[in-house]
Structure 1
Amino acid sequence: MGTKQIRVSEDLHARVKAEREDGETLGETLERLLGDYGLVDFADDMADVADEHPTVENLEQAIENSDERAREEIEEQLS
């Protein structure tokens, strides 16, 4: 598996670092905190959302709402 560099704020870096367990890299910490949610999970979720929200506007709003909830959950886990 390859690696990528990403830029994050100093605040986010400090919060992830604070969650790091002994011997764990920051990448491993992020993987642990984010869980096993993958592309197939995302596709399944989007299919369900699309069935519930047939118009583009409704779908966009549902995605924005879902993103906001996910951000709040991550913020809660990292704080």
Structure 2
Amino acid sequence: MSRPKATANTSSPQSPDLRSAENDLQRLRGCLRTVAEFIHDPAVDFAARHVLAQRLGLPAPTPTPAARQAKEATQ
């Protein structure tokens, strides 16, 4: 008896390794989302958020008006 071929319309059972990799990827995406939310949280010190974004290669946060004023005052 031959096994039916998997097509786009039928689902095939996933290997445990593939399922594990997909779970790891989902967990990493959740971590990245959490870090991005932290980086763009204006309640956290701007300099710390900016450095973290740089170190992780993520887009830099936009300074809040208060952070811009403090930065301009130190220049």
TM-score by length of 1: 0.33
Bigger fraction of residues in helix: 1
TM-score, structure 2 as length reference: 0.34
Q: Which has the higher contact order (CA 8 A, sep 6+)?
A: 1
